Amino acid sequence: MDFAQPEHITAGQYYDERAAKLSALIDEELKREYARRKDAARREIKVMLLGQAESGKSTLQKQFQLYYASQTLDHERPSWRPVVYFNVLKALRMTLDELDYEFTSQSQSQSRQAEDPNAITEIPIASSSLPPPVLSTDLLATQREIGELRAQLLPVVALEDTLASDLSGGVSVSGGRTGAYVRAGWQGLVTSAWALGDSRSAAPPRGRRSEESVQLAAKTLASTSEPIKALWAHRAVKRLLDAKKLRLEESAPFFLNNIDRIAEPDFLPTNDDILNVRLQTLGVMEHTFPINMGGVTYDWKLYDVGGARGQADLLKKKLAAGIKVRKYITSYGDRPNVYENVSDYFRSHFMQVHRRKDLAKRSLYVHFTSMLDIKATQSIIANVGEVILRQHIEQIGLA
């Protein structure tokens, strides 16, 4: 635009006109920016995931991402590799620790019994259908076998703390808690250029150290896959699991049963791997997905309040194991202790509390599912997404 001063006007008039033109340009730009922001706000949908610890919020977020924005999950896939490794190492360490505890306890019991045959030893309360104790007549043989496996697995188990530190970005958590705790942006710390397949680029120091740890864990898992399988299949571990003395995270069997695949040099986590991993989150994690619904792209923002881990729906398993609901919820009374009746009771109870407590008269939709069941959960996500979108359209005045 030409702001040259014509000869027939004064300097004052020239500067006044120039200022007016600049002001008009600025006004137009502000109007366009306001319209752009208003349009963006109309297409922005915010969803907060709330729930108690281990209720499956993070797993639901991943299911949501898998359903609506699977391409973003594909981009993040390399960053989940160290998390899978960490879950495997944690399961191995917990198994070996529990075996050591069991060995020590029963060895001491046998020693007391040998010193005083008439001594009364503590007998665990258990049904007669439980399998025999881990340590029986084959005590020494079992200890020797587990000791040999422990020696072979020591190099890989020793990497647990290193991976936890890298995933946590080197930040410790107060209160003496150990393990991997991640905050928003954690994936950038472990996804270096090498993890994405570009060896020409240099990773930052923290990313470089993380990648070195991941590669070391991969190589060590590959070299110890056979003893890992031997430990997981050992009769002592099976007896601990059957007696419910070994309480691993629910995803541990999934990973240990797939150790051959995980130990492959070119291992890349599958969707099931990503859904099964357990990783503690701290703070509020924001996840943004551009979602096309009805030909219109909406910017969905999911907020996951940290401090929880995903967990599968255990109701059927607990009922099948003979656990009585009325023992813990007296109001359940003498209703049948089967899934259909129990789930109906919980559904009715939640809806009753909602009607009594919700002053805003919001709609409540109750669904029973496992966060690890992709088909069932994504069917729910599709239905919930439509409900949220309809409410959003009504609120912004497009209905």
User: Could you identify the residue written with the tokens 């898992």?
Assistant: 221
**If you average pLDDT over each of 234-238, 256-260, 304-308, which comes out highest?**
256-260
Q: What is the pLDDT of residues 160-169, one digit of tens each?
A: 988 888 888 7
Q: How far apart (Å, rounded) are the C-alpha atoms in residues 74 and 87?
A: 20
> Residue 251: left if φ>0, alpha if ψ -120 to 50, beta else—which one?
alpha
Closest listed residue to residue 381, CA positions, set 59, 4, 14, 30: 59
Please give the torsion angle defined by the CA atoms of residues 367, 370, 371 and 377, in that order, rounded to the nearest 10 degrees: -50
Enumerate long-range contacts of 18-24, CB under 8 Å, 24 or more apart. Answer: none
Strand, coil or helix: 297: strand
Closest listed residue to residue 157, CA positions, set 108, 217, 100: 217
Specify the pairing of strand 44-49 against strand 296-305: parallel
The answer to whether the CB of 290 falls within 8 A of the CB of 299 is yes
Closest listed residue to residue 310, CA positions, set 346, 279, 269: 279
- In eight-state DSSP terms, residue 285 is E
Average pLDDT over residues 334-355: 88
Q: What is the pLDDT of residues 13-60, one digit of tens each?
A: 666 777 888 888 888 888 888 887 777 777 777 777 766 666 677 788
Average pLDDT over residues 301-322: 68
How many CA atoms within 13 Å lie on the side-chain side of 157? Answer: 16
Residue 173: band (very low, low, confident or very high) from pLDDT cuts 50, 70, 90: low
Residue 75: band (very low, low, confident or very high) from pLDDT cuts 50, 70, 90: confident
**If you average pLDDT over each of 11-15, 35-39, 75-79, 103-107, which comes out highest?**
75-79
Q: How far apart (Å, rounded) are the C-alpha atoms in residues 254 and 245?
A: 19
Q: How far apart (Å, rounded) are the C-alpha atoms in residues 90 and 252?
A: 9
* pLDDT above 50: residue 393: yes
Average pLDDT over residues 356-382: 73
Q: Which two tokens stand for residue 284?
A: 């509020």
Tell me what pLDDT residue 230 has.
96
The answer to whether the CB of 276 falls within 8 A of the CB of 62 is no
How many CA atoms within 13 Å lie on the side-chain side of 196? Answer: 17
* pLDDT above 60: residue 4: no
Q: How far apart (Å, rounded) are the C-alpha atoms in residues 190 and 81?
A: 9
Q: Which two tokens stand for residue 171?
A: 């930040």
Average pLDDT over residues 163-176: 71
C-alpha 69, offset from chain centre? 17
Q: What is the pLDDT of residues 257-290, one digit of tens each?
A: 999 999 999 999 999 999 888 887 777 778 887 8
Tell me what pLDDT residue 149 has.
95
Q: Which two tokens stand for residue 389?
A: 């979108």
Average pLDDT over residues 68-95: 89
Tell me what pLDDT residue 315 has.
79
Q: What is the pLDDT of residues 137-155, one digit of tens each?
A: 577 888 899 999 999 999 9
Per-chain mean pLDDT for the chain: 77
Specify the pairing of strand 296-305 against strand 284-293: antiparallel
The letter for the amino acid at 357 is: K
The answer to whether the CB of 65 falls within 8 A of the CB of 287 is yes
Closest listed residue to residue 80, CA positions, set 243, 191, 246, 235: 191
Burial bucket for residue 160 (CB in 10 Å: 0-12, 13-18, 19+):
buried
Residue 123: band (very low, low, confident or very high) from pLDDT cuts 50, 70, 90: very low
pTM of the model as a whole: 0.67
**If you average pLDDT over each of 88-92, 191-195, 301-305, 313-317, which comes out highest?**
88-92
Helix 235-242 and helix 81-115: axis angle, to 10°? 90
Q: How far apart (Å, rounded) are the C-alpha atoms in residues 213 and 192?
A: 12
Tell me what pLDDT residue 195 has.
45
Specify the pairing of strand 181-182 against strand 280-281: parallel
Residue 209 vs residue 80, higher pLDDT? 80
The mean-pLDDT minimum among 47-51, 109-113, 117-121, 323-327 falls in: 117-121
Residue 371: band (very low, low, confident or very high) from pLDDT cuts 50, 70, 90: low
Q: In what order do the strands lie in the sheet with 284-293?
A: 44-49, 296-305, 284-293
